[in-house]
Amino acid sequence: MNKLKSLFYNTDKDILILKITCLFWLLAKLMGRRMWTTQRLLPTVPAFKFLDYVPSIVHTILFVLSVSFLILIFLKKNKYLMIGLLVAEFLSYLLDQNRLVPWEYLYAFIIFIFIINQDAPALIAPSVILLLVSTYFYSGLCKLNEGFLHIVWSNMMLHAFFKVPSEIINQSWVHYSGYLLGVTELLAGLGLLFKKTKVSSSVILILLHALILLLLGPSGLSGYRVLWPWNISMILFLYVIFLYKRSTVITFRPATEGWNKLVLVCWVILPALSFFGYWDRNLSSNLFSANLPRMIICVNDTSKCKPLQRFLSKRDIPNTCRGKAKIDIQAWAIAETGVSAYPEIRTYRIIQKKLEQQYTAAGLSFVYLDR
C-alpha cells in the first residue's frame, strides 16, 4: 500500500501529470480494446487503402505494445519508452482512423510535450495548461448550436436525467438557457490562463466534469463508459495543476521553443479551421456538441445481414429510412467497441463501401446527416 502511495505522492507536479495520463489512458484503452483490434464487425478505416491488407495480428501487437509502454512509463519516466508509445499509437491510427478519439489525441500530445521538453521541464506544465485551455474553449464554443440545445440539453439532461416535465422544457427561457453550459465552459477555460481566476475556473470545470460523470454513470444514463476515465483524469489534471500544493505556483506562458510551436499550431490555430470544414472535429475538442455528422444505414432485408441485427436501432430517426430497418453507425460503434466511430463523412464513406461489398444481398442504403 505504501509503495502504491509513493507512486502518486510526489512534489513534482510534472510526474503526477505523467502518471495520471498513463493510468487513465491505459484504463480507457482496456475499456475500448475492441477498437484497437480487428475482433469486431465494425469495419476499419485505414488512412491508406493498401493498409487494409495488414494482418490482424499487427493490430493486436500494436495494442499490446501501447498497453505495455503505458504501464512501464507509469512506473518510470523514460524518454525512449514515450517515443515508442507514440510510434505504436501513430501506426495504430494509420491502420484505423476510428482510433483517433479526442482523449487519445489529448493524451498523446501530453506525452509529446514531455518528450520535446525533456531538457526544459519548466515548460511542461504551462504547455499542458494550453491543452486544457484549448479543450475547454473549443468544446464550449462547439456547444453553441441548436443541436446541443435539443439533443443534449433538453432531451438528455432535462428530460432523461432530471425528469423535468415537457411543458417546462418547452419554455423558451429554459430551452435557450442550455447555452449557459457552453459559455461557462468556454469562459472557465480561458480563466485558467490568469492568476486571479485560475483557481475558481478550475473548480467550475471540476464541477462540470462531475456533472458529466453523473450523467454517464451507473445512476445516470450509463451509456458511454469509456468517457469515465477521461473525465476523471481531467478532474485530476485540474486539481494537480491548480489546487494541489498551491505553494508551487505554475504560471502560464506560451512555449514557442523548438517543437513546442507544433503544440500551438495543433491546439490553438487548427481547431478554429474545423468550423469551416478544414480540420477534423475529433482534433478540435468538439465534445458533446451534438453537431457531428452521422451516417444511418438503411437495411432492406435484415435476414441477409444477420450479424448486424443486434445493432438495429429502435429509435425514430426522422427523414431517413422510410420505414426500413436502420442502424446508426455511432450507436453500433459504441455498442460493439465502447468507442465512437470517427465522425467525418470521408471515413463514413469508407465504411459504406466495405459494408456494401460484404452485405450485397441486404440491400443497404446510406443516409448522411451533416449538421
DSSP 111-132: HHHHHHTTT-GGGHHHHHHHHH
Whether 220 shows a pLDDT value over 70: the answer reads: no
pLDDT for 256 equals 74
| Contact of 355 with 43, CB cutoff 8 Å | yes
User: Taking the C-alpha atoms of 198, 201, 207 and 212 in order, what is their torsion angle to the nearest 10 degrees?
Assistant: -110
* Choice between 159 and 5, residue whose per-residue pLDDT is larger: 159
Residue 113 C-alpha cell reads as: 510535450
Average pLDDT, integer, range 30-59: 97
Whether 117 shows a pLDDT value over 50: the answer reads: yes
Helix pair 13-31, 56-75: axis angle to 10 deg: 150
pLDDT for 1 equals 46
Q: Read off the pLDDT of residues 298-324 as tens digits, 9 standing for 90 and up.
A: 999 999 999 999 999 877 677 789 889
* Choice between 8 and 283, residue whose per-residue pLDDT is larger: 283
Distance (Å, whole) CA 341 – CA 226: 13
* Choice between 111 and 248, residue whose per-residue pLDDT is larger: 111
Q: Read off the pLDDT of residues 333-344 as tens digits, 9 standing for 90 and up.
A: 999 999 999 999
Distance (Å, whole) CA 4 – CA 58: 33
* pTM exceeds 0.85 for this model: yes
What's the distance, CA 137 to chain centroid?
A: 15
> Which residues fall within 8 angstroms of residue 67, CB to CB, at 6 or more apart?
26, 29, 30
Q: So where are the chain's domains?
A: 120-283, 294-369
Average pLDDT, integer, range 130-143: 97
pLDDT for 245 equals 74
DSSP 300-318: S-GGG-GGGGGG---S--T
Range of lowest pLDDT (83-97, 153-167, 194-208, 271-285): 153-167
User: How many C-beta atoms surround the C-beta of residue 9 within 10 A?
Assistant: 9
Distance (Å, whole) CA 124 – CA 310: 46
3-state secondary structure of 185: helix
pLDDT for 96 equals 98
Whether 267 shows a pLDDT value over 60: the answer reads: yes
pLDDT for 225 equals 86
pLDDT for 335 equals 92
The model's confidence at residue 3, banded by pLDDT at 50, 70 and 90, is very low
